[in-house]
């Protein structure tokens, strides 16, 4: 049965990932305990372009524009108000988004609540940045882009005419949300050690936490659906695998430190207690992983190359710091 | 303008967020003592509610080291780690994870109904969630202990029981889960709450603990100075939020067929709010009409507690005390006293 073969493959991939992570953390913990690795990483970060808190919040604001528009349109058919889109650099429009055909009352609630949170994040970041806030860049939320992402991930679209429409039904909406959610969490976590003002650290922690709640809710919903429809689990593995491919296979320069293959679908895993869910994409220490701004852009631009636009951001993200607008060469 | 209307609708639709906003605006009025950075991002100049600022006496923030903060977090992990370990395996955390500085204590399991033990799960999905969370919590304990090295504090005595009567250091007490549930009015004054009885009770017990863990890490972020620790702490915070997101959404889903779950969660949330002072930093999960799965303020930021407020909740005491509730002998380390709340 092809379903169970997929499952076995996925389980084996997970075992391999655990091994890699274990090796990584042996090194990482030893380093931190000796006080050398942490210092070395911090030094390297400062030697680079040393983005300001404003740059990092603007980086986050681009992601929040993307998420807020996706959830707002999916829930209500309307996007952010015009007053929430202005700012420095080039303002762009949202294309291809629409109200999703949601029927499951739980999924409708998820969409409503997450939309409200993301809209609030945009407002919060804009308020913190005041006149330094960047405008919303052009955002492409069309089925074409989501289809490109799904095809790149190897998702079987034969039953839907080769198209992945994120607004078509509950399942597709959840899968589309899955594409975004973990990325936001890893981006905020990766950004956290680069922030300096404690008030901003505190606020960023609050937003990170909200994103992690969202991701937990979405992953939990996909997990439960996958019990009856294992293809759902397979798709999460495929998307995670694609993100892993996009964002590189090596430890990138400067914090955050990361492992080659850390993105994870929701397929169950075996742990010391028995068969367990995989709601939280963690390392051996139960800690969620990080991405650099470049790696986040690799995923948002849907490219492994160094680029300044693509995918969900056809004209690129906005940022006064060019280093926070580009993807990495992986 | 219709998109503005939609924006306002989105913001207004959730009663709980409205409540949080009211409280938040009050908080902005003068309480720098609370988790401070909230003020930065969330519209303190937005005075649409017109409620007076509270009289919060600004507590001077004592200087705490990263080790103090991590040791405080470690003890919350001991509590969570033991809870989830017992639930999935019938055993607490390994002996070699319990040692360290300060007074080492045992887990008080109680006996009979309410005793800490393996839950007989009927929903395999809930069991699989529980196993994952248990594994993650053990990871957190191991990570924090490895980083703290010889500075790591020992596991303090933990009351993990729902039993009507347990013996702690020769004295008789009520199982902490039952004490919490009685105080919240979830059960009658002589009833017991057994978090290890079934799926539903396990989830409610999880809500009791994990929600608090989230607010604790959330509140501690600004106190950590070492950037490596800060990033790790952000990662643990994220993990706790994934856990809580799953637990809260699972409880909400079950509330559709068992509406009393909504009522009981509201009671627990209100009680925690009563323990930790006048600010509202706790939210229920909403009801069948409107879910509230993410406990956020008006700015979409997850709510936090300072360490002393966390201790009010886990000690189950609104006064300034140094032990009680889940930690009958108090915490080890330097952060051990709850705050005095009227």
Cα separation of B249 and A114, whole Å? 13
Structure tokens that stand for B149 in this block? 């090295």
Q: What is the mean pLDDT of chain A?
A: 83
Query: Pairing state of beta strands B107-108 and B158-159?
Result: parallel
Give counts: helices (H), strands (E), chain A: 9, 4
Q: How distant, in Å, are the alpha carbons of B113, B176, B181 from that of B173?
A: 15, 8, 15
CA distance A48 to chain B (A): 16
Cα separation of B147 and B125, whole Å? 33
CA distance A232 to chain B (A): 15
- How much is the average pLDDT of A50-58? 93
Spell out the alpha helix ranges (H) of chain B.
2-13, 15-30, 38-41, 66-89, 124-148, 176-184, 199-220, 227-255, 260-275, 307-315
Identify the pLDDT of residue A49: 61
Strand partners, B107: B158
Domain boundaries, chain B: 63-315
Q: How many CB atoms lie within 10 A of CB A298?
A: 29
Chain B residues 165-184 within an 8 A CB cutoff of chain A: none
Identify the pLDDT of residue A107: 97
Chain B residues 254-293 within an 8 A CB cutoff of chain A: 256, 290-293
Range from A1-10, B151-160, B224-233 carrying the lowest mean pLDDT: A1-10
Residue A78 in this model has a pLDDT that exceeds 90: yes
Chain A with chain B: Cβ pairs closer than 8 A: 301
Residue B302 in this model has a pLDDT that exceeds 80: yes
- Measured in degrees and rounded to the nearest 5, phi and psi for residue A274 equal 125, -160
Strand partners, A134: A88
Range from A242-246, B125-129, B245-249, B336-340 carrying the lowest mean pLDDT: A242-246
Element (H, E) at A284: none
Cα separation of B282 and A100, whole Å? 31
Identify the pLDDT of residue A261: 55
Burial category of B305 from C-beta neighbours within 10 Å (exposed 0-12, middle 13-18, buried 19 and up): buried
Q: How distant, in Å, are the alpha carbons of A279, B54, B244, B265 from that of B208?
A: 20, 27, 10, 9
Which residue bears the tokens 């899968």? A175
Residue B211 in this model has a pLDDT that exceeds 90: no
Identify the pLDDT of residue B29: 27
Q: Are A276 and A268 in contact (CB under 8 A)?
A: yes
The gap from C-alpha B94 to its chain's centroid, in whole angstroms, comes to: 23
Cα separation of A281 and A265, whole Å? 8
Query: What would the pLDDT profile of A215-273 be if each residue is shown by its tens digit?
Result: 999 999 999 999 999 999 999 999 988 888 888 764 444 333 444 457 889 999 999 99
Closest residue of A to B16, CA-based? A113
- How much is the average pLDDT of B28-36? 28
Binned at pLDDT 50, 70 and 90, residue A70 comes out as: very high
Chain A residues 98-127 within an 8 A CB cutoff of chain B: 105-106, 109-110, 112-121, 123-125, 127
- How much is the average pLDDT of B56-76? 78
Residue A9 in this model has a pLDDT that exceeds 60: no
Query: Is B214 touching A (CB cutoff 8 A)?
Result: yes
Cβ pair B132:A278 closer than 8 A: yes
Q: Are B116 and B107 in contact (CB under 8 A)?
A: yes
Query: Pairing state of beta strands A94-95 and A139-140?
Result: parallel
Identify the pLDDT of residue B73: 96
Q: How far separated are the first and last CA of chain B, in Å rounded? A: 45
Query: What would the pLDDT profile of A287-325 be if each residue is shown by its tens digit?
Result: 888 888 999 999 999 999 999 999 999 999 999 999 999
Range from A181-195, B159-173, B285-299 carrying the lowest mean pLDDT: A181-195
Chain B residues 73-112 within an 8 A CB cutoff of chain A: 88-89
Q: Are B121 and B40 in contact (CB under 8 A)?
A: no
Q: Are A172 and A239 in contact (CB under 8 A)?
A: no
Cα separation of A326 and A330, whole Å? 12
Q: Is B151 helix (H, G, I), strand (E, B) or coil?
A: helix
> Whole-model pTM?
0.84
Cβ pair A198:B243 closer than 8 A: no
Query: Pairing state of beta strands B166-168 and B171-173?
Result: antiparallel
Identify the pLDDT of residue B68: 95
Cα separation of B260 and A20, whole Å? 45
Cα separation of A131 and B140, whole Å? 40
Residues of A with CB below 8 A from B45's CB?
A: none
Cβ pair A192:B139 closer than 8 A: no
Query: Is B252 touching A (CB cutoff 8 A)?
Result: yes
- Measured in degrees and rounded to the nearest 5, phi and psi for residue B166 equal -130, 160
Cβ pair A79:B241 closer than 8 A: no
- How much is the average pLDDT of A64-71? 98
Residue B321 in this model has a pLDDT that exceeds 90: yes
| Nearest of A70, A80, A92, A65 to residue A142 by alpha carbon | A70
ipTM for the predicted complex: 0.83
Q: Are B138 and B236 in contact (CB under 8 A)?
A: no
* Angle ∠(B299,B304,B309) on CA atoms, nearest 5: 145
Strand partners, B101: B153
Dump the DSSP string for B301-315: PBP---HHHHHHHHH
Residue A23 in this model has a pLDDT that exceeds 60: no
Q: Is A254 helix (H, G, I), strand (E, B) or coil?
A: coil
Q: How distant, in Å, are the alpha carbons of A138, B178, B266, B288, B303 from that of B11?
A: 24, 37, 21, 18, 17
Q: How many CB atoms lie within 10 A of CB B4?
A: 14
| Nearest of B266, B272, B270, B273 to residue B252 by alpha carbon | B266
Query: Pairing state of beta strands A269-271 and A274-276?
Result: antiparallel
Which residue bears the tokens 């090796």? A23
Cβ pair B3:A37 closer than 8 A: no
Identify the pLDDT of residue A144: 97
The gap from C-alpha B155 to its chain's centroid, in whole angstroms, comes to: 18
Cα separation of B68 and B80, whole Å? 19
Query: What would the pLDDT profile of A149-198 be if each residue is shown by its tens digit?
Result: 999 999 999 999 999 999 999 999 999 999 988 888 888 988 888 898 88
Identify the pLDDT of residue B222: 85
Residues of B with CB below 8 A from A83's CB?
A: 4
Burial category of B150 from C-beta neighbours within 10 Å (exposed 0-12, middle 13-18, buried 19 and up): exposed
Residue A140 in this model has a pLDDT that exceeds 50: yes
Instruction: Give the percent of chain B with pLDDT over 70.
Output: 82
Residue B56 in this model has a pLDDT that exceeds 70: no
Between B43 and A225, the higher pLDDT residue: A225
> Across the interface, which of A198, A203, A287 has its CB nearest the CB of B239?
A287
Residue A16 in this model has a pLDDT that exceeds 50: no
Cα separation of A8 and B214, whole Å? 34
Which residue bears the tokens 């986050």? A60
- How much is the average pLDDT of A125-143? 97
Q: How many CB atoms lie within 10 A of CB B137?
A: 29
């Amino acid at each position: 049965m092809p379903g169970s073969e997929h499952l076995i493959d996925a389980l084996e991939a997970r075992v391999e990932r655990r091994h890699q992570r274990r090796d990584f953390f042996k090194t990482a913990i030893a380093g931190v305990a000796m006080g050398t690795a942490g210092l070395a990483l911090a030094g390297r970060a400062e030697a680079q372009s040393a983005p300001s808190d404003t740059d990092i919040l603007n980086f986050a604001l681009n992601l929040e524009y993307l998420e807020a528009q996706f959830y707002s349109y999916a829930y209500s058919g309307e996007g952010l108000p015009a007053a929430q889109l202005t700012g420095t650099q080039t303002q762009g429009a949202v294309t291809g988004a629409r109200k999703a055909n949601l029927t499951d009352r739980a999924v409708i609630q998820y969409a409503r609540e997450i939309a409200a949170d993301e809209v609030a994040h945009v407002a919060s970041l804009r308020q913190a940045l005041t006149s330094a806030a960047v405008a919303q860049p052009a955002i492409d939320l069309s089925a074409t882009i989501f289809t490109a992402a799904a095809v790149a991930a190897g998702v079987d679209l034969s039953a839907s005419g080769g198209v992945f429409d994120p607004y078509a039904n509950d399942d597709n909406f959840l899968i589309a949300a899955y594409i975004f959610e973990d990325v936001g969490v890893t981006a905020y976590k990766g950004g956290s050690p680069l922030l300096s003002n404690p008030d901003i650290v505190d606020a960023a922690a609050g937003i990170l936490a909200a994103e992690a709640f969202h991701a937990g809710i979405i992953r939990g919903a996909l997990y439960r659906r996958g019990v009856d429809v294992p293809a759902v689990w397979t798709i999460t593995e495929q998307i995670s695998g694609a993100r892993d491919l996009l964002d590189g296979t090596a430890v990138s320069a400067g914090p955050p430190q990361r492992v080659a293959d850390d993105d994870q679908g929701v397929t169950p895993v075996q742990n010391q207690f028995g068969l367990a869910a995989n709601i939280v994409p963690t390392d051996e220490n139960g800690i969620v992983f990080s991405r650099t701004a470049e790696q986040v852009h690799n995923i948002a631009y849907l490219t492994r190359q160094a680029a300044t636009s693509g995918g969900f951001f056809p004209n690129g993200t906005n940022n006064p710091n060019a280093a926070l607008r580009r993807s990495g060469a992986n | 303008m219709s998109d503005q209307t939609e924006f306002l609708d989105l913001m207004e639709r959730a009663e709980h967020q409205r409540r949080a906003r009211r409280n938040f605006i009050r908080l902005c009025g003068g309480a720098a003592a609370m988790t401070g950075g909230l003020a930065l991002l969330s519209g303190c100049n937005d005075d649409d509610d017109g409620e007076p600022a509270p009289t919060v006496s600004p507590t001077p923030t004592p200087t705490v080291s990263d080790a103090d903060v991590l040791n405080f977090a470690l003890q919350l992990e001991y509590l969570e780690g033991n809870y989830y370990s017992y639930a999935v395996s019938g055993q607490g955390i390994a002996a070699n994870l319990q040692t360290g500085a300060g007074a080492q204590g045992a887990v008080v399991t109680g006996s009979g109904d309410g005793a800490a033990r393996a839950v007989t799960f009927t929903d395999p999905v809930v069991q699989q969630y529980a196993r994952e969370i248990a594994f993650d919590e053990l990871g957190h304990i191991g990570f924090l202990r490895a980083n703290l090295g010889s500075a790591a504090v020992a596991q303090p005595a933990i009351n993990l029981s729902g039993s009507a009567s347990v013996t702690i250091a020769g004295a008789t007490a009520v199982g902490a889960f039952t004490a919490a549930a009685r105080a919240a009015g979830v059960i009658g004054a002589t009833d017991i709450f057994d978090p290890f009885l079934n799926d539903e009770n396990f989830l409610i017990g999880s809500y009791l603990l994990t929600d608090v863990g989230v607010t604790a890490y959330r509140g501690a972020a600004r106190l950590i100075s070492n950037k490596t620790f800060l990033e790790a702490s952000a990662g643990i915070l994220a993990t706790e939020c994934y856990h809580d997101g799953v637990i809260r959404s699972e409880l909400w889903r079950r509330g559709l067929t068992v509406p009393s779950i909504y009522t009981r969660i509201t009671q627990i949330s209100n009680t925690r709010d009563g323990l930790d002072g006048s600010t509202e930093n706790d939210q229920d999960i909403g009801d069948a009409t409107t879910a509230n799965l993410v406990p956020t303020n008006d700015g979409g930021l997850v709510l936090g507690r300072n360490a002393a407020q966390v201790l009010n909740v886990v000690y189950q005491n609104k006064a300034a005390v140094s032990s009680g509730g889940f930690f009958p002998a108090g915490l080890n380390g330097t952060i051990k006293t709850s705050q005095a709340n009227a």
